[in-house]
Chain A
Amino acid sequence: MDVSQYLEIFIDEAKEHLENLNTQIMNLEQDGENMDTINEIFRAAHSLKGMAGTMGFKNMQTLTHDMENVFSEVRNGNVKVSSEMVDVLFQCLDALDEYVTNIQQTADEGDNDNAALIKAVNDFLAASENDGEKAPQSTASSQAGGSPTAGAGAEEGNAPSADGGAQNGNPNGDSNGKHKWKEIKIGNVEKGAIADAAKEGLQAYGISVYIQESCLLKAARAFLVFRAMEEIGEVILSVPSVQDIEDERFDKDFSVIYLTEEPLNKVLDAIKNVSEIEDAVGDVVNLSEGEAKEEGDKASGAGTGAGSGSGDTSASKEKSQAGNAKQDTKKVMGKPVVNRTVRVDIEKLDSLMNLVSELIISKNSLVSVASTEIGTSSLAFNEQIEYLESVTTSLHESVMKVRMVPIESVVTKFPRMIRDLSKKLDKKMELYMTGEDTELDRTVVDEIGDPLMHLLRNSADHGLESAEVRAQRGKPEVGSIFLDAYQDGNNVVIEVKDDGNGIDVEAVKAKAIEKGKITPEQAETMTEKEVIDLLFQPSFSTAKQVSDVSGRGVGLDVVKSKIESLSGEVEVSTKLGEGTTFTIRLPLTLAIIQTLMVIVGGEKYAISLGSIQTIESIPVDEVKTVQGREVIYLRGNVIPLVRLTKELGVESMNAPDADLLVLIAKKGDRLAGIVVDEMIGQMEIVIKSMGKFIGKSKLISGATILGNGEVALILDANAMI
C-alpha cells in the first residue's frame, strides 16, 4: 500500500499521542494505580502501534507493541508501576519521539531498533510472568474437566499427524489424511446424543476445518466458523476443546462432531464462506467404526468427552461474566472527551488572513473616498461603509481566533523536563503550571517553546539553591518553579518564577567588569535594573560552573531576541535570597493592530494603540529640563519627553510656541511622553514587513498601506521609552 500520502496526518496524530503519553506517564508517577491513566496510556500506545504498523514502521511498531503489553499487564493487576518502570517508559517516549522526528525529516523511521530499551520493557513482563504464569494454567487445566491427562493426550496425539497431513497435501490419504476428525474419540455421552439425533432425522458429521496460515487471531476465526455451523446445526464435540481454541492453543486446524439436518455440502460451504478458511472436509460419522477404536481407551475417552462438554458451557458462562465485569469497570471510569476538530494547514489560514487584510485595506480606502467627494452627499453610502467596517472587524476576529491555539501543546513537556532536571542536578524541585489553556497565535506558540524551556532550565539550574542552602535559609527542601500564563488585554503574559536564590547584583557586576563589558566606575553608578539588563547581553553567564543543563553558550540574550522577534518583551524582577520572576509579554496577534494615526513633519505614522495610555495637550512653558532632558510633570509623575521630530530627523510643522500634543506611552512601569505634530485618529491597520533591504531600525517596526494607497511607517512606542 502506498502510504506516503498519509505521512502528514500520521505525524500530527502520532505527536498528539506522544504528548498525551507524556502527560499520562507523569500522572502515573504520581498515582501508579489510577485506572484512567493506565487505560489512557494503554490506548495511546495501542493506537500508535496500529498507526505505525499501517505505515510499515516496524521498529516503532515493535516498541509500542511491547509498551502496550506491559500496560495490558498493569491493567490486569499483574505488574505494579514502579519508578524504574516510569523511567523506562520515558525513555521509550524519547525513542518514539526520535522515530517520529526521523519520519518527519526523511519519511523513514531510521535503523535504531532500541534493542536495549525493548529488553528493559520486556524485563518487566518477564518479572511478572514468574509470578503470574502459574495461575492461568491451573485454571485452564481445571476447566478441562475431570481427566486432565486424557485431554492432554488427545492434543498431543493430534499435533504430529497435523503436520504430516499438511505436508503430504493428501486429503484422502491412507491414514486419516485431512480428515483428522476421525481421530476424535467419541465418548458415550456423544454417542447417546448422536443416536437420539438420528431418531429426529439429524445426521452426524465429523468435520475438520483448516485455517489459512496467514490468518491472524485464529481463535476468533474459529469462533466465526463455530457460529456459522451453529446456525444450521449443533457442534457436540470439538478437538481441541472450545476453551483451548479460545486461548489459541491450537495449530491451524480443529475438528468437530456435528449434528445437522442439512446436507454435508451445505455445511462445508457455510464454513468455507468464512474468510481466511483454507479448507473444510467432513464425512458421516460411522459409530461402529469408532467403536473398536474407542473400546481400547474407553475410560479416558469418556473423560475427555464429558470434560470438554461440560467445560464448554461453564467456560462460556464464565466468559460472559468476565465480560460483564469488564463492562462495569469501564463504565465507572470516565474517559476524557475528544475534541471535535478539523485539521487545517496553517498556510491556508495564512492566506485567509491575507485576504482579510486586503479586505481591511480596501475598506479603509472606501472610508477615505467617502470622506471626500460622493460620500458626503450620500448617507446610505456611509451606512454601508460602517456596516462593512463591523463585518471586517468580526471577520478579522474570527480568523484570529482560528489561528489561536492553547499554549498547552508547548508546556506539557515541561513537567517531564523538570523531573529529568531534578534527577540530573540532584535538586528537589516541583513545577506548578497555571493557564495552560491560554491561547496565542499559532506562529507565536510554535516559537515560544525554546525561550520558555531556557528560562525554566535557568530557574532549575541557577535559580534554585542546593538542599543544604535551602535548609539554612529556612526554605522548604523542595524548590518551587511556577509557570503562569494569562491574558492581559491584547497581550498574553507568561511568567516563569522560582523561589530560589534571586539574582546577585554584585556578582553580575563583578562578572561584567571581569568580562570587560563595563568599567568599575560605570558599575558604581548603575541601577539594579541596568545591572540585571546586562544578563541579556550576548554570552553572559554568571554560573561559576558551566553545567550541561544551562549556560551552554545559549544565553538569556537568545531568549530576549526571540521574544522581541515575536514583538514581545521580557522583564525580570528579583529579590536576592527570595527568588526571580521572568515576565514575558506577547501580543495576541501579529498581523493586524489598532493604531493611532499621527502626523510628524508632514508625514503620516501609525503608533500601536496598545502602548498609549492617554493623550495630553501640554503648554510649552510646562516643559521642564532635568539633567539635560525635557520632562513634564503630570498627575504626580515626572515623565520624560520624546520629540518625534528629533528622533526621526524631520522639521516640525507647528509653531514653536504652540501647545504640545503628547501621547503618554507606558512600558512596564515606565512612562514616556511622545510629542507629535498632529493627530488623525484611530485606525485598524495591517502590518506589512519592511523586507530585508531596509536595515533594522529600532524605532520603526513595519509599514502599512493606507486607504488611499499611501504608505505609513509604524512606530514602536516601546523602543522610545
Chain B
Amino acid sequence: MGNGILIVDDAAFMRMVIRDILVKAGYEVAGEAADGKEAIRLYRTLKPELVLLDITMPEMDGVDALKKIMQEDRDAKVIMCSALGQSSMVIECIQAGAKDYIVKPFQADRVIESIRKLIG
C-alpha cells in the first residue's frame, strides 16, 4: 500500500487537471494511462492504492477496464470519472465493483472527499 494513485483518462488535459488536484491535496500520483489497456498494464506493475478511471476512452473503455481490474484484484479501489448522462454506465461500474464515482467537470473538494473516504 501507499503506492499512490493511478490516473486514467484519454485526454492529457484532464490528466493534468486531476494530477494537480491530487498533488495539491498531498497525494502521490503513481502513474497515468490514456486508455483501458494501458490502465490494466499499469495497475499490474504499479499496484496503485487507488485508480481514478475515466469511462469514455479509446482502445478499451473504463467499464471493461474496471471489470478486468476487479477480476484480477477483488480489493481494487477504483473511482470512476464520469460525465453527466452516463448514469447507466456508472451503475454498471458500481455493480462491477467500483467504489465511488466523480462527475466531470471535477470539483477538487469532491474528488478529494471521495479519495479520503477510501484511502484516508
A residues within 8 Å of B by Cβ?
A: 1, 3, 5-6, 9-10, 13, 42-43, 46-47, 49-51, 53-54, 56, 61, 65, 68-69, 72, 216-217, 219-220, 223-224, 227, 246, 248, 273-276, 316, 319-320, 323, 327, 330, 335-338, 340, 343
Choose one: B14, B64, B95; the contact of A50 (CB below 8 Å): B14
Please indicate the chain A residues that have their CB under 8 angstroms from the CB of B12 in the complex: 9, 13, 343
**Cβ of B120 under 8 Å from chain A:** no
> Which range holds the interface residue count of chain B?
35 or more
Question: How far is A335 from B58 in the complex, measured between Cα atoms in Å?
Answer: 6
Q: Known pairs A51-B14, A246-B87. 5 more at Cβ < 8 A?
A: A47-B14, A50-B11, A216-B84, A219-B87, A246-B91
Partner of A337, one of B59, B95, B110: B59
How distant is the Cα of A637 from the Cα of B80 in the complex, in angstroms?
A: 74
Q: Does B34 contact A (CB under 8 A)?
A: yes
A224 in complex: contacting residue of B63, B64, B100, B106, CB < 8 Å = B100
Q: Provided the pairs A47-B56, A338-B34 are in contact, do residues A248 and B64 lie with their beta carbons within 8 angstroms?
A: no
In the complex, per-residue mask of B8-50: 1 if CB is within 8 Å of any chain A CB, else 0: 0011111011001000000000000011000000000000000
Roughly how many angstroms separate A216 CA and B83 CA in the complex, as a whole number? 9
Q: Which residues of B contact A273 (CB under 8 A)?
A: 117
Task: Flag if B104 contacts A53 (CB, 8 Å).
Answer: yes
List 30 A-B residue pairs with CB atoms under 8 Å apart, sorted by A's residue number: A6-B13, A9-B12, A13-B11, A13-B12, A13-B13, A42-B56, A43-B57, A43-B58, A46-B83, A47-B14, A51-B14, A53-B104, A56-B105, A69-B85, A72-B85, A217-B84, A217-B86, A217-B87, A217-B103, A219-B87, A219-B90, A224-B101, A246-B87, A275-B100, A276-B110, A323-B63, A335-B59, A337-B59, A338-B59, A343-B12
CB-defined contacts of B59 to chain A, threshold 8 Å? 335, 337-338
Do B87 and A220 touch (CB < 8 A)? yes
Give chain A nearest CB distance to B96 CB in angstroms.
9
> Which of the residues B87, B94, B114 comes within 8 Å of A248, measured between beta carbons?
B87
Query: Would you give the shortest CB distance from B116 to chain A, in whole angstroms?
Result: 9
Least CB separation from B57: chain A residue? A43
Residue contact A54 to B91, C-beta cutoff 8 Å? no
Q: Which residues of A contact B56 (CB under 8 A)?
A: 42-43, 46-47
The answer to whether B10 touches A220 (Cβ under 8 A) is no
Write out the residue numbers on chain B whose beta carbons fall within 8 Å of the beta carbon of A1.
17, 107-108
- Taking CB atoms, residues of chain A closer than 8 Å to B72 are none
Report Cα–Cα, A6/B14, bound state, in Å: 9
Q: Which residues of B contact A319 (CB under 8 A)?
A: 91-92, 95
Give chain B residues whose Cβ lies under 8 Å from the Cβ of A320: 95
Which of A219, A274, A275, A276 has the largest number of chain B CB atoms within 10 A? Answer: A275
Q: Given that A50-B104, A54-B17 are contacting pairs, would A330 and B82 also be in contact in the complex, using a CB cutoff of 8 Å?
A: no
Bound-complex Cα distance A120 to B113 (A):
40
Q: How distant is the Cα of A220 from the Cα of B88 in the complex, in angstroms?
A: 8
Picked from B13, B64, B94, B100, the residue with its CB within 8 Å of the CB of A51 is B13
Residues of B contacting A224 in the complex (Cβ-Cβ under 8 angstroms): 94, 100-101
The smallest beta-carbon distance between B2 and chain A, in angstroms, is: 22
Q: Is the CB of A219 within 8 A of B91?
A: yes
The answer for the CA separation of A518 and B63 in the assembled complex, in Å, is: 72
Contacts of A338 in B (CB 8 A): 10, 34-35, 58-59
Contact A54:B64 (CB < 8 A) given known A13-B11, A13-B12: no
- Given the interface pairs A219-B91, A220-B90, the reply to whether A336 lies near B17 with Cβ below 8 Å is no
Hey, which chain B residues are within 8 Å of A6, CB to CB? 13, 16-17
- Give chain A residues whose Cβ lies under 8 Å from the Cβ of B63: 323, 327
Please, which residues of chain B bring their CB within 8 A of the CB of A248?
87
CA distance A224 to B96 in the complex (A): 11
Chain A: minimal CB distance from B64 (Å): 6
